[in-house]
Structure 1
Amino acid sequence: MLNEKWQTLIDVADFAFQPIVNIYTGKLYAVEALIRNYEPAGFTTIDCVFDSAYSEKTLYSIDVKLREKAIHKFSLLPFSKHIKLFYNLDNRITMMPDFKSGYTCELLSTYEMDTSNICFELSEKHQVGMYAGVDKLVLNLYKQQGYKMAIDDFGVGFSGLQMLFNADPNFIKIDRFFICDIHLSKKKKLFVSSIVQIAQAMGIFTIAEGVECEEEYNECKKLGCNMVQGYFVQKPTLDVTQIVMSYEHLKLVDQSDKRKNGKIANIEKYLQKSSTVFMDSPINDVYEVLKGDKKNHFVPVLARDQTPLGIIRDADIKAYLYSNYGKALLYNLTQGSLKKIIAHCGRADINDPIEKILKIYAFDDDNDAILITENEKYLGYLSSKVLLDIVNEKNIVDAKDQNPLTGLSGNRIINEFVANAMDSKEKVMMAYFDFDNFKPFNDYYGFRKGDRAITLFADILKSSVGFDECLVGHVGGDDFFLGWSLKEEDSFEKVYAIVLEIVTKFSEDIKSFYCEQGLSSGYIMAKNRDGVIQQFPLMTVSAAVICHGFGYQHDFDDNELNEIFGVLKKSAKASPTHIACVDLGVIKDAI
């Protein structure tokens, strides 16, 4: 029997729900239950509630009552059976004298729900001293009953990696500390990228917590997070009618970002299908699937909510069957659950870029395939052969676009870079290079020497880019392109110095291509466009440079951009430095 203080808490407390959505599609995956209105019961913080309950040894009783309220409110959502409820679990409940397992299963059955509808979140708060090891006990206890498990506030405590290693959760929720202004912090990007890579390798989904703006959202997507939660999606709400199945404003962000996503085009045509079994299927079902599909050497295993759990390999089954008493042993091992014979298999979302899918596949030498999901529901798989075909097709498309003389990227890739740059709010610089007096040089010395001049400049570009994220392109003839995706700390002056070095080096190196007379006189005699013989100075190169995202957001269409580059080229050719730069449409000398 609860005393008055605790009964007041149960009576007045309420739960706000905050959506957790697929970072690519904006589709609702789950809601997190956040306790509200505990102050009238005399508590100043949520921690005070659970610390007091723990000290009075009523933690389990209080948690059960609160859990009832959260699940009841969750059941009021018309689509509650198709999503998940994330509920914060204090791992100290197992230390309570009245703790018992199985109550939540009974409660869920009254609402015609399954354990797979619930995900319990464990925090790193109580992972030291007398509480050490409790997390593993709690996680294993609830996972065995079919609940999903998540590590909350990952990264802010001292024991997160140990907890991750021991517990094998379904989700990692990356703490808001790392997400806040992540687009402005190189260190935060590095930390989150590392967390995501570890999670991918272990088949764990990552949730970015506390995302409050579009820039944070885009950075989390770029780094490979699977799901997102925060004010940018929706603030926590006490009104369940405000929770919707799809968040349209995220779709709009995704549309503008699609060109940069790198998702496999028409992935559905590559997706392979096969019969599946469930975790609680009898072993005979596995035999039947393998017999029915001789070409396939494994069977995908799913939870009842269609979440992929791994695969069962044909070779592993045969290893049992060909041994003494193997079939009987296998039957005993799989009574009630196939868990003991399930092998790990990489998983990826259907919207993941090909680079991410290949990283997941390559991490584990034993991967037979990559299981493909949408909103964590199984869709099919990509075998190693199909992945190789996808990579080969991509390489062929890229190769067709390469300039045959220089091997540099051609117009398709250049145009994609420019379009993405103008859509982006990030710092980008683009430079178009155009030779000065190339035609008379080519006419005078012949096309072979003209080709050598072009390859000389291509080599200078490749050796002078100065940044990791840089596109070196060959538009055609004597026109070239450089595009830089810059980090926050990179400056305009740094890029300008690289452009100046390229222009200067080419002007010096090209002199060796001229004959002694031309070199000494500083010109050659050749026909102009009207067929009249005239003097032409030694060849140089001019650069038209556009700066984007240096404190301003631009809104140019393709025609306006081409006009600006045209004006810039004329300005560059007339400049003593052979360089002209523009920002916000105003032509200026760079330095």
Structure 2
Amino acid sequence: INIKKENLCFEISERHEFSGDNNLEQLLQHYDKENYNIAIDDFGVGYSGYKLLYDSTPDFIKIDRFFLQAIEKNLKKKILVRNITHLAVQLGIKVIAEGVETKAELLACKEIGCHLVQGYLVQHPTRNSTEILQHYPHIQEIIANDKRTNTQNSKIDVHIDKINPIRIQNDMSFVVEYFKNNKETTIVPIINESNEPLGIICEAQIKDFLYSPFGISLLLNDESKSKIKNLLRICGNTDINSNISTIIELFSNNPDSLGIIITKNSKYYGFLSARSIISIMNEENIISARDQNPLTKLPGNVVIEKYISELAIIERSYLLCYFDLDNFKAFNDVYGFRNGDRVIQLFADILRKELSSDIFKAHIGGDDFFVAFETEQELEMDKCIPQIVKILDNFSNSAKEFYSQEDKQRAYIVSKDRHNNIKRFPLLSASASLLKISTKSKNKHSECINNVLSVQKKVAKNATNHLALSCLL
């Protein structure tokens, strides 16, 4: 049937018990030696788990559909799949996300760093090989329209070394000549006939042979254990469309990492060296520091706008909250800027204390803050409102400590308003403008969201409970 060995894959299902099966281990070793691919199916829901991963040294693991269903809405699933994926990448194993059926699941898997997906979103199962396409336009369109992808590519691409790879079918004399002719190259990626990366070989490995007695003879002996496959060093690889944070995390998790192989559509694209990744990390740290509010250390307007712009392409339900400190200008005029800064820091500390780390919190500037809750179902948005009420109450009670005893007893201070008129101002409080966004909401663009929150905050200030709530149609 004219199918190459490296294009055939034997799947082992984790749903069956293989512990202690020597025949299976010998069979897997045989297939691996003959250059067939091995995949662990249903990873994460079976008996053998990580022991099977250790014993079989597979080329692929297929994460079970259970972990991927509605993953974009489930933080626990995200953490599990991310950990499995990052472990696999460090072991040089490609990850296939099984049973992907929605656009949101696809984008979540891409964000985590899965190499491949299969499922009804791509194509329904078929026995007719002519129905299997080389490219799926609807999938390409989803990836192309993902705004997160477009901004990431240019940042990564400038750091990628386009090192010419070596095919694993070449003999060792080719490798020796390669390093002789490319003296500045210390690492070379190894690919198969399909241009898919398999690992790397380092110049130092070749020098170990060249500078040892009979080393060159041993190295060039086809019968020796020095064939390319035996010298292959595991190297993590990820797609060029991966998040920068994913690449940094993959690199940081492995203290022995020399870099990351970058692929494009599963084919070798280039190599991101350790030095390049460190440069990217420094750039990201500078950007992060620049976009943080210097007083509260919370993300600022640039990050907020980016977050809101991504709402339009992610199928999730959100409760957005615009916090505004009431009577802050009057307090600032009477008690001074230093105490004003302390009040702002107090509110930021309350947000950190009352809200879990996975909830997006930001400082718009001055006395305005922004929080976004992501929920699995629309009905769960209402469960977030008591948290917001608690934040408002906590702030109102804590802020009283900034006033003199006399002002606390009177429950007001005297100051000038924006028109220079002398007025009485109540003690500090906070109000919250809330906006529900469901998966069915149509007008999820930044301008519309910002306008609603801005107009509605005036309503919240005048409400007895300091809350105003609306739903985006």
Give 3-state SS (helix, strand or coil) of 2:288's partner.
helix
1:191 and 1:262, CA in 2 relative to 1: closer, same or farther beyond 3 A? farther
Q: Matches of 1:186 and 1:416 in 2, distance apart?
A: 21
The 1:194–1:577 alpha-carbon spacing in structure 2 relative to 1, beyond 3 Å, is same
Letter in 2 for 1:141: H
User: Do structure 1's residue 288 and structure 2's residue 177 form an aligned pair?
Assistant: yes
Q: Within 1, Cα distance between the matches of 2:163 and 2:102? A: 41
Could you list the per-position Cα deviations for residues 355-379 of structure 1 after superposition, in whole angstroms to 9, with x for gaps in the alignment?
A: 2222332333322111111233211
- Alpha-carbon shift at residue 195 of structure 1 (Å): 3.5
Q: Residues 243 and 412 from structure 1, CA distance in 2 versus in 1: closer, same or farther, beyond 3 angstroms? A: same
User: Structure 1 vs Structure 2: percent identity of aligned residues?
Assistant: 39
Change (3 A) 1:403 1:155: closer
1:25-64 Cα shifts (integer Å, max 9, x gaps): xxxxxxxxxxxxxxxxxxxxxxxxxxxxxxxxxxxxxxxx
Distance, in Å, in 1 between the alignment partners of 2:75 and 2:287 is 33
Any conservation in 2 of the 1:469–1:485 contact (CA below 8 Å)? no
Per the alignment, do residues 223 and 346 of structure 1 end up closer, same or farther by CA in structure 2, a change over 3 Å counting? closer
Q: How does 1:148-547 map to 2 (within 5 A)?
A: 148-159=37-48, 161-180=50-69, 182=71, 192-259=81-148, 263-332=152-221, 337-465=227-355, 467-486=356-375, 491-547=380-436
Contact 1:277-1:300 within 8 A present in 2 as well: yes
Partner deviation per Cα, 1:426-476 (whole Å, 9 max, x = no partner): 2322211112122222223333332232222222222222x2312221111
Which structure is higher in RCO with an 8 Å CA cutoff and minimum separation 6? Answer: 2
1:384 positional shift: 0.7
Change (3 A) 1:472 1:175: closer
Distance 1:547 1:531, change over 3 A: same
TM-score, scaled to structure 2: 0.89
- Structure 2 matches for 1:21-170, cutoff 5 A? 71=1, 108=2, 114-123=4-13, 128=18, 132-159=21-48, 161-170=50-59
1:543-580 Cα distance to aligned partner (Å, 9 max, x none): 1122233x754533333323321332122111222122
1:583 aligns with 2:466: no
Q: Equivalents in 1 of 2:193, 2:149: separation in Å?
A: 35
| Comparing 231-240 and 163-172, the one that deviates more | 231-240
How far apart in 2 are the matches of 1:183 and 1:409? 22
Q: Which moved more, 1:469-478 or 1:350-359?
A: 350-359
Greater mean deviation of Cα atoms: 576-585 or 259-268: 259-268
- Flag the 1:463–1:163 CA change in 2: closer, same or farther, 3 A: closer
Give the AA of the match of 2:278: L
Cα distance between partner residues in 2 of 1:278 and 1:424? 39
Instruction: Tell me how far apart the structure 1 counterparts of residues 152 and 176 of structure 2 sit (CA, whole Å).
Output: 35
Partner of 1:563: 451
| CA distance in structure 2 between the partners assigned to 1:134 and 1:262 by the alignment | 50
Using the alignment, how far apart are the partners of 2:46 and 2:380 within structure 1?
35
3-state SS of paired residue (2:263): strand
Provide, for residues 88-131 of structure 1, a one-character-per-residue CA deviation record: whole Å limited to 9, x for no partner: xxxxxxxxxxxxxxxxxxxx2xxxx53333333344577659x9
The 3-state SS of whatever aligns with 2:161 is: coil
With over 3 angstroms needed to count, the CA separation of the structure-2 counterparts of 1:509 and 1:124, relative to structure 1, is closer
CA RMSD of aligned residues (A): 3.0
Q: How many residue pairs are counted as aligned between the two chains?
A: 472
CA deviations over 1:214-273 (Å, ceiling 9, x no partner):
344344334432211122211134555543332222233334543389845442211102
Which moves more between the two structures, 377-386 or 325-334? 325-334
How far 1:381 moved relative to its partner? 0.5
TM-score between both structures, scaled by the size of structure 1: 0.72
Q: Is the 8 A contact 1:402 1:410 kept in 2?
A: yes
Distance of aligned partners of 1:277 and 1:552 in 2 relative to their CA distance in 1, 3 Å threshold: closer
- 1:379-400 per-residue CA deviation (whole Å, 9 max, x = no partner) reads 1111111001111111111211
The more displaced of 150-159 and 478-487 is 150-159
Letter in 2 for 1:305: S
Amino acid at match of 1:417: Y
- Whether contact under 8 Å (1:422, 1:548) holds in the other structure is no
In 2, Cα distance between equivalents of 1:425 and 1:472: 20
Equivalents in 2 of 1:579, 1:193: separation in Å? 37
- Report if the CA contact (8 A) 2:163-2:270 is conserved: yes
5+ residue gaps, structure 2, are: none
Q: In the aligned structure 2, how far is the partner of 1:573 from the partner of 1:248?
A: 49
Deviation at 1:325, TM superposition (A): 2.4
The 2-side partners of 1:295 and 1:386 are apart by 16
Which one-letter code corresponds to 1:361 in the other structure? F
Distance in 1 between residues matched to 2:321 and 2:65, nearest whole Å: 38
Q: Which amino acid aligns with 1:135?
A: L
Give unmatched runs, 5+ long, in structure 1: 1-70, 72-107, 586-591
